[in-house]
RNA sequence: UGACGCGUGGCCAAGCGGUAAGGCAGCGGACUUUGGAUCCGCCAUCCUAGGUUCGAAUCCUAGCGCGUCAGCCA
């Protein structure tokens, strides 16, 4: 039986449905064409989900294609990381892995075709001169003196360009369109430039390389792409995309459709800035959990499912979209709620001594790994019964609780521990605060309590209400662990929109490293395992655990907290 | 003030002439051995101004605002 997955509709989907219904296309073929010059970020995830997602939804396919027409900027390292990230996101392309560079010969042939049909010419002007001739947004450009060169001369010159007879930048091949076009992209755009650089795949076979506007449409057509989906900034290029396909012998004419790219608030997305964050050691690397790269989200603990769900949630439109990270966090919680076993971890330990508890007595407390509602969700989502369903946690005379869970002089509605107050230690006992030990500065360093033997398991046989339930860890059995908390990398919604330099807007509290104590079972957790630390959030074991000599946990996203909101007021 | 595109609540986003879905955020409440989850309730007349129409977010006109484009980058 197939599961009905009703994904929200959008304008691109509507176009495809219509094309299929009308018979314009029998199948849908898309492509994801990154330039291998950097790491993929969350913005790319949108393009990936749209291209691969739509193809999958309509039973078509999406080609993996590297747009490697600029040898000066591209590296093999990136073609690997990009494929890795896309697979991690959950998409595959089978045999359909292509490189734009594989078609260099075809592009060249078609360029000669353009020359022979009088649609392209070799330009001798320098880059600056070309710019001067191009005109401005409000003034038309002027024709180049070489614009009306004869076909034979153009052909000869172009062949010699390929043969390496001219130095870099000496000449270019331009399309002969319209220097007076109101669309700057149509003012005789450059098709080929001379550039002696080692290409990561073709080596030194070529010294002329095609431009994106020329190669992309042809590449799409040669791959039989039906719908060429890209972001809004290429809208102005669509007339050129169509011009190329109309003037060159290609098997089909794909339709370019543009959509708004995804922007996340409180971060930056430009490759230059991301690179700078890395090189200046502002972050630890491309996969720093604070980075908006897919590698960063993965390292932090995000699941592919949650990212796909996030992309689906924000939708596809043509209006600039600035998405709040809370939507991502919500998607993560939604995914992990039934998947992540509950555990107890104390991030900022405060010692609690149970004065009426026998010195060396230890009790094993049984704690369920999932609450009932999460168990139901597991059934709904076909996750089956958790294994194990519960675990035993050692409890003793001295334990740690969260510093935030105790207040000497609390405000109203503070349902936690306070002098003379009672609180439930999760699945253990009800304890009452009898006294505290303070240091010279008045800081509470120890809380002394008595426990009620009748409340084993946290139950209250007498029916009394105990509002607060705290998580805890046995002082003797707990495991030391490093806990890393992350906040947005920037302290303003749109760092790029600010007048100040983005580096001045970095949030000084984007990373908080804590030395906590976690329940013993967490000591065996393996890198990549995810948990919900009760009352705190979702965490994943970081790869540093294998070298740090202790467990390192990344907080993926905090739990929603009514108290945090209230306390923040 | 060139061309193209966009403008629905704090952030996204449905809607395609018949009287404003949904999500996130926020607010209030119920419940709770996670102040989690869950559940209830509240939260917009659709950039502005005209016009067409019995009826407009949807059509027309005129404005306003925002984005993109003057790489031998993609």
Which ipTM was obtained for this model? 0.96
Query: Which nucleotide C1' is nearest A10 CA?
Result: B14
A355 shares its domain with A253:
no
Residues 476-515 of A with CB under 7 A from strand B: none
A245 shares its domain with A357:
no
A253 shares its domain with A371:
no
State the Rg of chain A over Cα. 31
List the nucleotides on chain B closer than 7 A to a protein CB.
Answer: 1-8, 10-16, 21-27, 33-38, 66-74
Q: Check whether residue A454 has its CB closer than 7 Å to nucleic acid strand B.
A: no
A462 assigned to some structural domain: yes
Domain's final residue, options A229, A263, A297: A263
Identify the residue whose Cα has the smallest distance to the C1' of B10. A324
Q: Which DSSP letter does residue A556 get?
A: E
Q: Domain range holding A437?
A: 348-477
CA distances from A315 to A6, A36, A266, A494 (A): 13, 26, 20, 20
**CA A131 → C1' B71, Å?**
10
**CA A202 → C1' B25, Å?**
51
Q: Check whether residue A8 has its CB closer than 7 Å to nucleic acid strand B.
A: yes
A239 shares its domain with A353:
no
A506 assigned to some structural domain: no
pLDDT given at position A2: 29
**CA A375 → C1' B10, Å?**
35
**CA A415 → C1' B16, Å?**
53
A68 shares its domain with A185:
yes
**CA A309 → C1' B24, Å?**
13
Q: What angle do CA A136, A140, A145 make, to 5 degrees?
A: 105
Query: Which nucleotide C1' is nearest A194 CA?
Result: B72
pLDDT given at position A569: 56
CB-based contacts of A301: which residues, under 8 Å, 6+ apart? Answer: A289, A530, A538, A539, A540, A554, A555, A556
A252 assigned to some structural domain: yes
Q: What is the DSSP pairing of strand A208-210 with strand A469-470? A: unpaired
A152 assigned to some structural domain: yes
- CATH code for the domain of A27: 3.40.50.620
Q: Which residues pair with A255 in a beta bridge?
A: A227
Residues 221-240 of A with CB under 7 A from strand B: 232-237
Q: Check whether residue A391 has its CB closer than 7 Å to nucleic acid strand B.
A: no
Q: Check whether residue A167 has its CB closer than 7 Å to nucleic acid strand B.
A: no
Identify the residue whose Cα has the smallest distance to the C1' of B38. A373
- Tokens describing residue A28: 């849908």
- CATH code for the domain of A393: 2.40.240.10
pLDDT given at position A75: 86
A361 shares its domain with A454:
yes
A401: nearest Cα among A354, A458, A465, A466: A354
Domain's final residue, options A242, A263, A284: A263
Q: Check whether residue A241 has its CB closer than 7 Å to nucleic acid strand B.
A: no
CB-based contacts of A9: which residues, under 8 Å, 6+ apart? Answer: none
Q: What angle do CA A143, A139, A170 make, to 5 degrees?
A: 40
**CA A176 → C1' B13, Å?**
42
**CA A322 → C1' B44, Å?**
20
pLDDT given at position A27: 97
A19 shares its domain with A121:
yes
CB-based contacts of A250: which residues, under 8 Å, 6+ apart? Answer: A110, A217, A218, A221, A222
Q: Which residues pair with A502 in a beta bridge?
A: none
pLDDT given at position A566: 77
Q: Check whether residue A1 has its CB closer than 7 Å to nucleic acid strand B.
A: no
pLDDT given at position A519: 98
Reduced DSSP (H G I as helix, E B as strand, rest coil) percent helix, strand, coil of chain A, to 5: 35, 25, 45
A233 assigned to some structural domain: yes
Question: Which residues of A form the catalytic set?
Answer: 35, 261, 271
pLDDT, one tens digit for every residue, chain A (569 residues) = 223 345 788 999 999 999 999 999 999 999 999 999 999 999 999 999 999 999 999 999 999 999 999 998 878 999 999 999 999 999 999 999 999 999 999 999 999 999 999 999 999 999 999 999 999 999 999 999 999 999 999 999 999 999 999 999 999 999 999 999 999 999 999 999 999 999 999 999 999 999 999 999 999 999 999 999 999 999 999 999 999 999 999 999 999 999 999 999 999 999 999 999 999 999 999 999 999 999 999 999 999 999 999 999 999 999 999 999 999 999 999 999 999 999 999 999 999 999 999 999 999 999 999 999 999 999 999 999 999 999 999 999 999 999 999 999 999 899 999 999 999 999 999 999 999 999 999 999 999 999 999 999 999 999 999 999 999 999 999 999 999 999 999 999 999 988 888 999 999 999 999 999 999 999 999 999 999 999 999 999 999 999 989 999 999 999 999 887 777 65
Total residues found in chain A within this entry? 569
Domain's final residue, options A263, A294, A314: A263
Query: Which nucleotide C1' is nearest A137 CA?
Result: B2
pLDDT given at position A4: 37
A218 shares its domain with A354:
no
Query: Which nucleotide C1' is nearest A212 CA?
Result: B74
A158 assigned to some structural domain: yes
A296 assigned to some structural domain: no
What is the CB-side half-sphere exposure of residue A336 using CA atoms within 13 A?
30
Q: Check whether residue A169 has its CB closer than 7 Å to nucleic acid strand B.
A: yes
pLDDT given at position A65: 98
Model-level pTM? Answer: 0.96
A42 assigned to some structural domain: yes
Q: Report the number of distinct structural domains present in chain A.
A: 2
Residue position matching structure tokens 């590296």: A75
**CA A521 → C1' B71, Å?**
57
Q: Check whether residue A73 has its CB closer than 7 Å to nucleic acid strand B.
A: yes
């Amino acid at each position: 039986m197939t599961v009905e997955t009703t994904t929200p509709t959008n304008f691109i989907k509507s176009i495809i449905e219509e094309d299929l219904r009308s018979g314009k296309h029998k199948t849908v073929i898309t492509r994801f064409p990154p330039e291998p010059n950097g790491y993929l970020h969350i913005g790319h995830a949108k393009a990936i989900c749209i291209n691969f997602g739509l193809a999958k939804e309509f039973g078509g396919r999406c080609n993996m294609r590297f747009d490697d027409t600029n040898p000066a900027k591209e590296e093999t390292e990136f073609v690997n990381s990009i494929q890795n990230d896309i697979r991690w996101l959950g998409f595959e392309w089978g045999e359909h892995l292509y490189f734009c560079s594989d078609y260099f010969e075809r592009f060249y042939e078609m360029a000669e075709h353009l020359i022979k049909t009088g649609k392209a010419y070799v330009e001798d002007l320098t880059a600056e001169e070309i710019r001067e001739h191009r005109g401005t947004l409000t003034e038309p450009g002027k024709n180049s003196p070489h614009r009306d060169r004869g076909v034979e001369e153009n052909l000869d010159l172009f062949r010699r360009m390929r043969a390496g007879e001219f130095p870099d930048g000496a000449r270019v091949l331009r399309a002969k369109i319209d220097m007076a076009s109101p669309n700057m992209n149509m003012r005789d755009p450059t098709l080929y430039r001379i550039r002696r650089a080692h290409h990561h795949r073709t080596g030194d076979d070529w010294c002329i390389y095609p431009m994106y506007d020329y190669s992309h449409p042809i590449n799409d057509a040669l791959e039989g792409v039906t719908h060429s989906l890209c972001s809004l900034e290429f809208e102005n290029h669509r007339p050129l995309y169509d011009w190329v396909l109309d003037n060159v012998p290609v098997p089909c004419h794909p339709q370019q459709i543009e959509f708004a790219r995804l922007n996340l608030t409180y971060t930056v997305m430009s490759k230059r800035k991301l690179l700078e964050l890395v090189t200046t050691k502002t972050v630890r690397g491309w996969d720093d959990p604070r980075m908006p790269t897919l590698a960063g989200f993965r390292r932090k603990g995000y699941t592919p499912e949650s990212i796909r769900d996030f992309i689906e949630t924000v939708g596809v439109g043509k209006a600039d979209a600035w998405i709040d990270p809370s939507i991502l966090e919500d998607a993560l919680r939604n995914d992990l709620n039934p998947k992540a076993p509950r555990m107890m971890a104390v991030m900022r330990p405060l010692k609690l001594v149970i004065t009426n508890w026998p010195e060396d007595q230890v009790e094993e407390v049984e704690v369920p790994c999932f609450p009932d509602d999460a168990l139901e969700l597991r059934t709904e989502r076909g996750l089956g019964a958790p294994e194990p369903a519960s675990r035993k946690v050692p409890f003793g005379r001295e334990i740690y609780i969260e510093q935030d869970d105790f207040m000497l002089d609390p405000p109203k509605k503070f349902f936690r521990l306070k002098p003379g107050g009672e609180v439930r230690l999760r699945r253990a006992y009800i304890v009452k605060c009898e006294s505290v030990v303070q240091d010279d500065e008045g800081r509470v360093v120890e809380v002394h309590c008595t426990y009620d033997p009748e409340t084993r398991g946290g139950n209250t046989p007498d029916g009394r209400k105990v509002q607060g339930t705290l998580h805890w860890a046995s002082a003797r059995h707990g495991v030391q662990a490093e806990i890393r908390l992350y906040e947005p990398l920037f302290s303003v919604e749109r760092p790029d929109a600010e007048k100040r330099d983005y580096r001045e807007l970095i949030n000084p509290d984007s990373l908080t490293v804590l030395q906590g104590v976690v329940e013993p079972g967490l000591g065996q957790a393996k890198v990549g395992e995810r948990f919900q630390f009760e009352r705190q959030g979702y965490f994943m074991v970081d790869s540093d655990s294998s070298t740090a000599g202790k467990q390192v946990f990344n907080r993926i996203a905090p739990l929603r907290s009514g108290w945090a909101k209230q306390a923040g007021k």
